[in-house]
């Protein structure tokens, strides 16, 4: 089934933060503070200044994007509306539903972008060209 949503379905969520004088900890566990079961975790780091990551959409994948260190902006786009979300705290994550184009920009020095994904890598789930994404959105009964 084709899933196309809008940027209003993507939200910043606050994760559990346990304060300790020796250092804080944030825990993400399946079934507690996620909207999906995590099947893949990856992180982006050493991103050169001025570089962008992302630049794609997913047909069925859900993600939670966290600034584990430093900061960056995530531009989300549903084909009609765009929004920029600034992430700079390791206890906040941006929940992204399928059918949303995303670009990650403005990485601070030393930033680490942690991504929890609902599925293992599948090239067939990606929409890598923006014109293909627009066609995908416009061919949807919701689009």
* Residues classed as catalytic: 56
CATH number of 7-138: 2.60.120.10
Structure confidence by residue, pLDDT tens digits, 25-67: 998 888 766 679 999 999 999 998 778 898 999 999 999 999 9
With 50 as the cut, is the pLDDT of residue 1 above it? no
Q: Which pTM value belongs to this model?
A: 0.91
Q: Where are the domains of the chain?
A: 7-138
Query: What are 107's strand-pairing partners?
Result: none
**Is residue 79 exposed (0-12), middle (13-18) or buried (19+ Cβ within 10 Å)?**
buried
């Amino acid at each position: 089934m084709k899933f196309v949503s809008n940027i209003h379905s993507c939200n910043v969520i606050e994760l559990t933060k346990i304060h300790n004088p020796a250092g804080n900890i944030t825990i993400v566990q399946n079934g507690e503070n996620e909207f999906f079961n995590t099947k893949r975790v990856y992180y982006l780091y050493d991103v050169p200044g001025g570089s962008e990551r992302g630049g794609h959409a997913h047909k069925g994948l859900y993600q939670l994007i966290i600034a584990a260190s430093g900061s960056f902006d995530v531009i989300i786009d549903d084909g009609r509306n765009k929004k920029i979300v600034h992430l700079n705290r390791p206890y906040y994550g941006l929940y992204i539903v399928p059918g949303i184009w995303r670009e990650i920009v403005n990485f601070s020095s030393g930033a680490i972008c942690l991504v929890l994904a609902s599925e293992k890598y599948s090239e067939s789930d990606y929409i890598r060209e923006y014109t293909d994404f627009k066609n995908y959105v416009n061919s949807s009964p919701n689009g």
